[in-house]
Amino acid sequence: MTSIETATNAKAHLEKMLSLLEIEATVIEEHFDESTVCYRIECSEDDAKFLIGRKGQTLESLQFLVRQMCKGAMGEEEHFIVDVLDYRQRRKDSIIDRAKRAAVAVLNGEVEDYALNPMNAFERRLVHNYLQENFPELSSQSNGLGPDRHIVISYSGEPDSGSEEKSPADSGSEESDS
């Protein structure tokens, strides 16, 4: 299945699902980046609350269902995301803001380790990348299992300038998200 066929199918599946749910909405296809398409659903605020659900769980489920419906015979997947009224961008901004406040608390010595609330893998990856780019003196590590998996931020010292060696215990502490 080509990416054009997948895009057509994904949009058609979303439109059909919205119709079955009796939700008046428009599905807009936008390019998120070079390899990812975003299907943005424009609808009323009440319908958006229904489609997003508690902490975005309904939206994640909707995206999962559409991905399953669009999988090719060989199991290949095209990369796309489903969004409702820019929820994902607002959520990303909120997560980055919390990570920034946690990083500042660790740097100011208010706390030694700062545990963020549980997040899904995509959200944890956002935080790991944000901290790595903006706070290289901090380390972030994913702890916990399943729905309780969260990030712990701690001070790791000044960024390596090549003169110091990292101890084996330090290796893999950043972005360990398995």
The per-residue pLDDT for range 114-170, each reduced to its tens digit, is 999 999 888 899 999 999 999 999 999 999 998 899 999 999 887 655 444 443 344
Question: DSSP code of 52?
Answer: H
If we measure between CA atoms, which residue out of 18, 48, 42, 45 comes closest to residue 28? Answer: 42
Q: How far apart are CA 107 and CA 101, in angstroms?
A: 10
Model confidence, pTM? 0.71
pLDDT of residue 70: 87
Q: With cut-offs at 50, 70 and 90, classify the pLDDT of residue 113.
A: very high
Question: DSSP code of 32?
Answer: -
Higher pLDDT pick, 79 / 12: 12
**Amino acid letter, 176:** S
If we measure between CA atoms, which residue out of 132, 128, 137 comes closest to residue 161? Answer: 137
Bridge-based pairing state of the strands 150-155 and 113-115: antiparallel
